[in-house]
Structure 1
Amino acid sequence: MKIIVPMAGRGSRLRPHSLTTPKPLIPIANQPIVHRLVKDIARILSEPVDEIAFILGDPAFFGDDVVKSLEELAQGLGAKASIYRQLEPLGTGHAIMCAEPSLSGPAVVAYADTLIRASFELDPAADAVIWTKQVEKPEAYGVVKLNEKEEIVELVEKPQQFVSDQAVIGIYYFKEIADLKKELQFVIDNEIINGGEYQINDGIKRMMASGNVFKTGTVDEWMDCGNKVVAIETNQCIMSFMEKDGSEELNSQPTLQDSKIIPPCVIDSSVVLKNSTVGPHVSIGAGSVIENCTISNSLIQKNSVIKNATLEEAMIGNHVKYDGKFTRISIGDYTIME
């Protein structure tokens, strides 16, 4: 089994955090989004994963440190890492085709901007599975249309009339991904373009027209990481799940000096808390120092120093220095202070 992970986008909705760190590498509960996603998918699959293909963008942004992180992720799952580049933003279908040498055999395609909770077995009668989540407002999503056999017969983007309440979340299984490769090659050769790009949906629609059977795989939770607000919500959700699962990640012991932690929190053991109350639902990355603060429902990355602050629903990046006593401040592009 292979996992194909297109992750070349710059994540503009998550600025300023994605200005210096690729969005899939931004930590949720102190672990990069793409790491959590790939591990969750590998856990669901009944077959061992032998290769993970990552499609990255410009090497100037997705550099050697990113490649090393992904290689270590694959290695930890007993798989080979294959690294490909999508140097032009030509769409989801084009991104997959950038990994053309890896497009054979059974594979999962997963776009690295979402996290899931799921437990199900892949239907052996299906040629492909599109993972979906039941939603309250299907008109805001791309949804699947099903026939009487519960097979997917159509993909409908933001339907004005009710089609179904099963929204496509951007994770797909193909019993033979070479079938998708063949159809995407046709899409590219014939310049079938939607929204100015080559889309995976056009390849999938051609597979359906050729008689391939598509089924749904419904996830229990679908958590977005696309902007600051939903990233903080997802940070909270993941910690709540970790608490239910009894995760060891919640048990690290930072240095406490007249401080208190209200669980659940994910705080690196190298963090120093001074005269502060932290939690619930706070993640703090390695090397950070928190002093004279009250912080809840927030995400703080590595090597930051936060002093004299009361923070709720805050997202703070790497190497930040912030002192709540000061009013004449200079913080980078796209910063939001509310």
Structure 2
Amino acid sequence: MKIIVPMAGRGSRLRPHTLTIPKPLIPIAGKPIVHRLVEDIAGVINQKIDEIAFIIHEDFGKQVEQDLIAIAEKLGSKGTIYYQNEALGTAHAIMCAKDSMTGPIVVAYADTLFRADFTLDTSADSVIWVKQVEDPSAFGVVQLNENNQIVDFVEKPKEFISDLAIIGIYYFKSGEALRSELQYLLDNNVVKGGEYQLTDGLENMKQKGMKFVPGKVDEWMDCGNKNVTVETNSRMLHFLDIDGENLIAPDIRIENSTIIPPCFIGDDVVLIDSIVGPYVSIGKGTHLHNTKIKNSLVQTHVHIKNAKLDNAMIGNHATFDGNFTSISIGDYSILE
């Protein structure tokens, strides 16, 4: 099994945090989004992951590439880097990794996390991860027949067709079959809105009689902008706490401070005269002094004092001293 992860987008809705790091490498409850994503996929498919192919922009730099390779290696997989330097659509992005599209594959877009308890149907030609939503008009949805097979893909339906939204994770029994269909789109310039779309390839595969079935997830967590990313961090902390995962490093220093779980607190964190939690992630090397913080995401080596924070997101190596509450400041920012 291989996992293909298109992640070349700039993540403009999450600026300033994505000015210095790609969105999929922003930590959620102590691990990068993409790390948690591939871990969760591995848990659902319950098979050995031979390779994880990351599709990035060449400008992301060598350190990002090394970090991604390390994520793959932690899962016992080979990590491969491909480049998409021009945004030409979902089908084009996937085809940047065409050399890795052999055998069974999972395609997963790296701006979403999920929780699921289902067994992958490897007899199907394709499984499309979906989540039941209240307002399907905002999403691409799938329509099922009486045999629980997908018979149609509809983008943002104005009239009710289905409430099963496509979350952006797909299984294909044959990577070669998907590659062939997407190559057809590129060769024949089949575009919508100036981009090559994966859904056009899926429709062609369906028309040829391939069997598509849904994989229904229990939770779908977005990381599109600051507010939903902070919310996703809180929800992930809740799930990890239920799972009994140890979220607090053993070497933190606490002076006259309280931690209200669930919280992730990394190595070498110092808490002085502070109240932390619930639903806070604090990266390694961060110092808090005279601070109350809840429902927030703080990255590494941050210094915060005299603060009362809620729904905040703070980048690496930032310094904050003040009374603002719901803030979003990027790496190396100073507010004092």
TM-score normalised to structure 1 length: 0.94
- Mark the CA change 1:123 to 1:332 in structure 2 (over 3 Å): closer, same or farther: closer
**Deviation at 1:161?**
1.2
Cα deviations across residues 19-53 of structure 1 (Å, max 9, x unaligned)? 11100001111211000001111111122111111
Equivalent residue number for residue 212 of structure 1 = 210
**Residues 1:43 and 2:46 aligned together:** no
Q: Which of structure 1's runs of 4+ aligned residues deviate more than 3 A?
A: 250-253
**Deviation at 1:71?**
1.1
- Mark the CA change 1:217 to 1:36 in structure 2 (over 3 Å): closer, same or farther: same
Equivalent residue number for residue 241 of structure 2 = 243
- The letter for the 1-side match of 2:31 is Q
Structure 1 unpaired stretches of 5+: none
Conservation of the 8 A alpha-carbon contact between 2:249 and 2:267: no
Structure 1 segment 177-326 matched on structure 2, within 5 A: 177-250=175-248, 252-324=250-322
- Mark the CA change 1:251 to 1:287 in structure 2 (over 3 Å): closer, same or farther: closer
**Deviation at 1:199?**
1.1
Equivalent residue number for residue 14 of structure 2 = 14
Equivalent residue number for residue 23 of structure 1 = 23
**Deviation at 1:68?**
1.3
Aligned residues: 329
Question: CA–CA distance in 2 between the matches of 1:301 and 1:33?
Answer: 13
Cα deviations across residues 68-104 of structure 1 (Å, max 9, x unaligned)? 1111111111111111000111111101000011011
**Deviation at 1:56?**
0.7
**Residues 1:63 and 2:61 aligned together:** yes
Conservation of the 8 A alpha-carbon contact between 2:3 and 2:53: yes
**Deviation at 1:332?**
6.6
Cα deviations across residues 139-197 of structure 1 (Å, max 9, x unaligned)? 11110011222211111011111111100000000000111110100101111111221
Conservation of the 8 A alpha-carbon contact between 1:272 and 1:288: yes
Partner of 1:239, secondary structure, is helix
- The letter for the 2-side match of 1:54 is F
Partner of 1:292, secondary structure, is strand
Equivalent residue number for residue 73 of structure 2 = 75
Cα deviations across residues 184-224 of structure 1 (Å, max 9, x unaligned)? 00101111111221111111111111111100000010000
Question: CA–CA distance in 1 between the matches of 2:316 and 2:220?
Answer: 26
Partner of 1:207, secondary structure, is helix
Structure 2 unpaired stretches of 5+: none
**Deviation at 1:113?**
0.1
Kindly report the root-mean-square deviation, in angstroms, between the aligned alpha carbons of the 2 structures. Answer: 1.6
Conservation of the 8 A alpha-carbon contact between 2:315 and 2:330: no
Cα deviations across residues 247-274 of structure 1 (Å, max 9, x unaligned)? 0234544211111111110011211111
**Deviation at 1:303?**
1.1
Q: 2:135 pairs with 134, 137, 160, which one?
A: 137
Question: CA–CA distance in 1 between the matches of 2:330 and 2:112?
Answer: 26
Question: CA–CA distance in 2 between the matches of 1:119 and 1:105?
Answer: 24
- The letter for the 2-side match of 1:279 is G
TM-score normalised to structure 2 length: 0.95
Question: CA–CA distance in 2 between the matches of 1:137 and 1:325?
Answer: 37
Q: 1:168 pairs with 156, 161, 166, which one?
A: 166
**Deviation at 1:286?**
1.1
